Amino acid sequence: MSAAIENPGSETRPILAPTGNRVRVVEERRMKREIQSKNSVEKPKRVTSQTLPRRSGGAAVAVVLNNVSADSSSDSSSSCSGSTAKSTKSLCSKRRNVRNSNGIVKPAKIVPNGVEALAISPMVPAPVKRCDWITPNSEPLYTSFHDEEWGVPVHDDMKLFELLVLSQALAELNWLAILSKRETFRKIFDEFDPSSVANFDEKKLLLMKMNGNTLLSEPKLRAIVENAKQLLKIQQEFGSFSNYCWRFVNHKPLKNGFRYSRQLPVKTPKSELISKDLMRRGFCCVGPTIVYSFMQVAGLVNDHLTTCFRYDECNMDFKKNSTPQLEKTEVTREAETTMCTFIASKLREL
């Protein structure tokens, strides 16, 4: 056995063992390399907004959480980046930073991969809210009638006569059936010209019945012809059928403001008043229910639900389409009355 010679500043030579020193030297070198590798590992630095990698837009990729160590954030990020399968990558979440006015980066909502495109896409407009009786399964013709015609104030006499006839047809048909045959109605009744319909005689009615063009019963057809005759008398008395109808509501549509369709009435005291006056003048088949349907479609009353987009639009349509001619006529009548009174007083003084 020989002992190692110790020299200052040099490594100590290992003592020889009975089996030689090769195994011991290998073990000591391996342990030395492990210790050096452990000491050479640097502790992870704390992640800050300055050390974060940046995208092309300048926004930080990672998110700095308050009072959270960098180890937990690195573990969560490594769990996402460590997987190689595409299905696993789609489950990883991305964090998008939000920088406030003070320059502090705050965590935003977590947006999963594949959903980010939907999150930043423009919002899809919500469907238009209509009255309850218009559903997504309603016929386009019926929906267009609701959106463009029902409840719009009407002042044209031929149009008012047409709507009155269609309202009378509701006793035998529904609105969808009437609208689908509307062109046939117009053809039979000469575009709803009251002066032309008033001249229908028995021969004309019989011809309509023989050709199979009668959409309504014979009593209803005779009532329409008689109503056309009485409408001409109203035009002579009031200047127009429009003036006669709108005077019952003081030339301004009535607004009920119902929220639910079950609140809509079938008839009202106002429709009963108009019905009695029409019957007194010789009109037929103009009960309070038919008259109220006529008031609704002609815009004499706005019965769109308050949740419907047409409720406010119909009110705006009345302001735009209100006839200034009617207002001028009333002013002219008042001026004429005042002038006649003034002339009469002067004549008395003389």
308 is in an annotated binding site: yes
Task: For 282-338, give the DSSP string.
Answer: T--S--HHHHHHHHHHHTSEE-S-TTSTHHHHHHHHHHHH--HHHHHHHHHHHHHHH
239: left (phi over 0), alpha (psi -120 to 50) or beta: left
146 is in an annotated binding site: yes
**What are the tokens at 117?**
């495109």
Length of the chain: 350
**What are the tokens at 242?**
């429009």
The CB-side HSE value for 36 (13 A sphere, CA atoms) comes to 6
The CB-side HSE value for 102 (13 A sphere, CA atoms) comes to 3
Q: Provide the terminal-to-terminal Cα distance of the chain, rounded to the nearest Å.
A: 166
What's phi and psi for 112, nearest 5 deg?
-65, 155
**What are the tokens at 157?**
């006499």
**What are the tokens at 52?**
């974060």
Say which residue the tokens 């008033």 belong to. Answer: 198
Please choose, from the candidates 98, 122, 102, 100, the residue with its C-alpha nearest in 3D space to the C-alpha of residue 110. Answer: 98
Residue ranges for the known binding site are: 131, 146, 304, 308
Residue ranges for the known binding site for Zn(2+) are: 131, 146, 304, 308
